[in-house]
Amino acid sequence: MPETQSKVLSAPVYWAQRSNLVYVKIGVEDVKSPEVKVDKNKIYFKAVGSGKQEYEADLELFDEINTEESKFIVRDRGTEFVLIKANVGPYWKRLLKSDSKFHWLKVDFNKWKDEDDTDDEGGAPGQGGGDFEEMMRQMGGLGGMGGAGMPDLGDLDDKDDEPDSDDGDLPELEDK
């Protein structure tokens, strides 16, 4: 009996942008054998996800990106891209060159920032400075937080060693 070929599904794609970069996440989990290509105006992704289902995304971008500065990482819960815009400044009208609606393409509102919002993430607007490096840290590409800004939990000890109202002995449990 011949083996049936499984249909290749469109990968779910989420995106957001800033004046200098575009975030793209391809929401295919537990990726096996990923094929990823990033060109100046295109992203290609093909992989086998959980359940041995094959997914593909062939994205012709709205405008050009700087491929040398752009990065991606394959994680268990999806593949994340930080695409540096070749033309810094104007926000893209959409992610893709095509103005068609696609059921698999959605805005990532957790990362979205409007054009008129202040750029308070570090780095000057229009530069790849702090926000790009922070995103790479979050993606695991440039190390972790390293304790910066983290409180020393040893400071939570009582300094005066006076008993609190809840420090008393607990009563014994009763058998039924």
pLDDT per residue as tens digits for the range 13-29: 999 999 899 999 999 99
Distances (CA, A) of 37 to 28, 68, 108, 148: 16, 12, 22, 35
78 pLDDT tier (thresholds 50, 70, 90): very high
Quick check: 173 pLDDT over 50? yes
Q: What is the DSSP letter of 20?
A: S
pLDDT by residue (tens digit) across 64-74? 999 999 999 99
Q: What is the DSSP letter of 18?
A: -
Which neighbouring-strand residues pair with 58? Answer: 44
169 pLDDT tier (thresholds 50, 70, 90): confident
Q: Is 153 helix (H, G, I), strand (E, B) or coil?
A: helix
Alpha-carbon distance of 10 to 43, in angstroms, equals 14
Mean pLDDT for all residues in the chain: 78
pLDDT by residue (tens digit) across 112-132? 777 766 554 443 334 444 455
33 pLDDT tier (thresholds 50, 70, 90): confident
Average pLDDT over residues 71-92: 91
Domain parsing of the chain, residue ranges: 1-96
**How many C-beta atoms lie closer than 10 Å to residue 118's C-beta?**
7
Q: Which CATH class is domain 1-96?
A: mainly beta
